[in-house]
Structure 1
Amino acid sequence: MPALASHRKPRTPRPHATAFGVTTAALASVTLLSGQSASAAPAAPAAPARPTVEEIRQKVDELYRQAGAATQEYNRAKEATDRQRREVDRILDDVARRTEAVNASRRALGSYAAAQYRAGAVGPTATLIFADSPQDYFDQTHLLDRLSARQHTAVAAYEAQRAAAAKQRARAARGLTELTASQKALGDSKRNVQRKLAEARTLLARLTAQEKARLAELERRREAEARRKAEERAKVEAAARAAAEAERERRERTRPAPTPDPATPPPSGASYEAKAAEAIAFARAQIGKPYVWGATGPNSYDCSGLTQAAWRAAGVDLPRTTWDQVEAGSRVTTAGLLPGDLVFFYDDISHVGLYIGDGKMIHAPKPGAYVREESIYSMPIHGGVRPA
């Protein structure tokens, strides 16, 4: 037994076998990890970040501005619709009158034709024979000649009236087509305004109590900044008025008294200042009335409806929309604004107010607000217009 044992060699581990075992284990680990990664559920997408109060305020302001522009589109479409409806009604009334004239001409033609038929049923010889006297024969012949001349005139009138009536009916048809298109544009503008306002209300309704408080604070800061700018403007205007008054008094002291001329009539006609005062007085009387888009008074107004009504009270007719009102007078710079001037806002000229001096205006701001005095610096100024 010992001899046999001496021929046995001790078993030693083989290096390549060890390496194979490590590699296999590593591959198994990688495969396991890969399988786990593949079978794991994908991560849920991150929720979109909630907008800040500042971003919400900017979005709401933009929606109100867009609603203001859509309101002007509505006003323009409504004005066109009303104008076309009046024109169509006028044409239809004219068509009815012309149709009655055509019918009257037709009845006249019928009476002439009946008279001619009755007279033509008896020949000239028989007419002479059956006449009571030669004079009666000549009277009947003369009557037939006159009937024939009148018939020709009636035929010509009938043809002219029928052609005119047909022309007016064609105009009425075109007018009705245009009216239908205007009514569609009016409906589209109305829905656009309502959509913008609903979106703004939805954004505001989603605010938490803390966010609402933050939004109110931002509004207070913006209003305070606008008031500060208006106060600075008021000081400048007060200094300018004082300087102008001092200069006027100086000139009055140094100017010789004028000799009255009885042949020279007193000046007539209201000055711009007087008309502006009337417009401002009217606008001031509307303070507290609600903004309603498309409204022109007397119980509610939109921005251009208020300025139009105010200047109408002073005897000046302004167009309906801000886009037309900005062209209805002479342009003035912001520094050159006088009480009564119109102040327009935003690049799209979608808002207007009535300047009352000292950097302030009276305007109908937006849905949910009321006619009020406010600094002209509460919105981006586009420019000013002097309407009279």
Structure 2
Amino acid sequence: MAAHRKPRQRSLGGNTARTAATIALAGAATATAFDGTGHAEPPLSPAQVKAKVDKLYREAEVATEKYDGAKEKAAQTQQRLNVLRDEAARRTDRLNSAREALGSAAAAQYRNGGIDPSVQLLLSSDPGRYLDDAAFAERLDGWQAAAVKRVRTQLREIEQLRGAARVELASLKSRQAELSRQKRTITEKLGEARQLLAGLTWSERAALGVDGRASRDAARDLGPVPLAVSTAMAPGPRAAAALAYAYSKLGSPYVWGATGPDAFDCSGLVQAAYRSAGISLPRTTYAQIGAGRRVSRAELLPGDLVFFYSGVSHVGIYVGNGQMIHAPNPSAPVRLAPIDLMPFAGATRVV
């Protein structure tokens, strides 16, 4: 019988030793990666934070303009839907009245229609009146035919109204879904920006202008344009009135989707300012840039609308001396700022 001997342990030499060392190093590297000490990203500098925050604000502003546009279209769709429903209800009431009249006439005809006219004449206590009634019955038949035709027409019109209402309702639901999507985007972008800013000290935020101070100082360096000077240079009384409104809102908070009177987003401020002057402007920057006569940068006058970025996602009201009043973003209130602060995209003169 063969003896069962315990196998001899091999020493860790040659390739085996090198393999073990490699595994050990890989394990150490993996452990370092897992505990976060080997590949931790360096913290962002205040300038890098500001760059990321500015980018997030721009993205949120683009989403805000889309939200504003969807909200405006949803409101218009809801209004059309209400009109269609009201008209359908009115026509249904008229249809029901016509049906009742037809029903009454048909019931009367049924009650009398089974008796031969000669027998009705014999049984009538007033043959003269019967003859008058017979003549009326002949006219009634003609009236019934016309009434039935009207009812059929009313039924078709009501069905058309209901069909149009179904289309508007589907459109409204689509607009509402778009509102929800843009709202989520805005909330996410602004939330991320707030988290980044929370990592800065108060003095760092002040130095970078994310608390609104630096831009006011920049405007002050240019020499603030007094309201009286700005309105005097305006191309007309309505532009002057819009400027007066904008000046009166300096310091108001930025709130996305807001059109005043206490808070604004950028296009909301412009719309509210010109609304106060009796001029109705579209809700979004994309539409506002086409609401007047385009002017060059060299032609700018106080009251002109100035637009920024390639996507025309921001707008302000020019006040003169290279400055504007605008609602910048959630980190700063409505304020004076140089128009050189952002990439210039174009300008429009409303009046």
User: Deviation of residue 288 (structure 1)?
Assistant: 1.9
Distance 1:33 1:150, change over 3 A: closer
TM (norm. structure 1) is 0.77
User: Deviation of residue 219 (structure 1)?
Assistant: 3.2
Correspondence for 2:318 among 347, 352, 355: 355
Taking the aligned partners of 2:203 and 2:182, their CA distance within structure 1 comes to 34
In the other structure, the counterpart of 2:4 is none
Taking the aligned partners of 1:299 and 1:327, their CA distance within structure 2 comes to 27
Residues 155-213 of structure 1, C-alpha deviations (whole Å, 9 max, x = no match): 11111111111111111111111111111111111111111100100111133x3xx53
Matches within 5 A, 1:1-388: 28=13, 32=17, 35-40=20-25, 41-43=27-29, 44-45=32-33, 46-207=39-200, 209=201, 213-219=203-209, 223=215, 226-227=218-219, 230=222, 272-388=235-351
Taking the aligned partners of 1:164 and 1:36, their CA distance within structure 2 comes to 87
- 1:229–1:377: 8 Å Cα contact kept in structure 2? no
Counterpart of 1:92 in 2: which secondary structure?
Answer: helix
Give the aligned residue type for 2:300: L
Taking the aligned partners of 1:325 and 1:307, their CA distance within structure 2 comes to 9
- 2:295–2:349: 8 Å Cα contact kept in structure 1? yes
Residues 264-288 of structure 1, C-alpha deviations (whole Å, 9 max, x = no match): xxxxxxx933222111011111122
In the other structure, the counterpart of 2:6 is none
TM (norm. structure 2) is 0.85
Taking the aligned partners of 2:244 and 2:49, their CA distance within structure 1 comes to 37
Residues 17-46 of structure 1, C-alpha deviations (whole Å, 9 max, x = no match): xxxxxxxxxx95786455434334332242
Give the aligned residue type for 1:385: T
Taking the aligned partners of 1:98 and 1:145, their CA distance within structure 2 comes to 29
- 2:206–2:214: 8 Å Cα contact kept in structure 1? no
Identity across aligned pairs (percent)?
42
Count of aligned pairs between the two proteins: 325
Taking the aligned partners of 2:248 and 2:219, their CA distance within structure 1 comes to 22
Give the aligned residue type for 1:308: Q
Residues 107-161 of structure 1, C-alpha deviations (whole Å, 9 max, x = no match): 0111111111122132111112123354233212112112211211211111111
In the other structure, the counterpart of 1:6 is none
Taking the aligned partners of 2:194 and 2:337, their CA distance within structure 1 comes to 23
Residues 322-377 of structure 1, C-alpha deviations (whole Å, 9 max, x = no match): 01001111222222210000111111111111111111111111114221222222
- Structure 1 segments unaligned to the other structure (5+ residues): 1-26, 245-270
Distance 1:222 1:382, change over 3 A: farther
Distance 1:229 1:324, change over 3 A: farther
- 1:116–1:147: 8 Å Cα contact kept in structure 2? no
Report the structure number with the largest CA radius of gyration: 1
Counterpart of 1:42 in 2: which secondary structure?
Answer: helix
Taking the aligned partners of 1:185 and 1:162, their CA distance within structure 2 comes to 35
- Structure 2 segments unaligned to the other structure (5+ residues): 1-11, 34-38
- 2:216–2:335: 8 Å Cα contact kept in structure 1? no
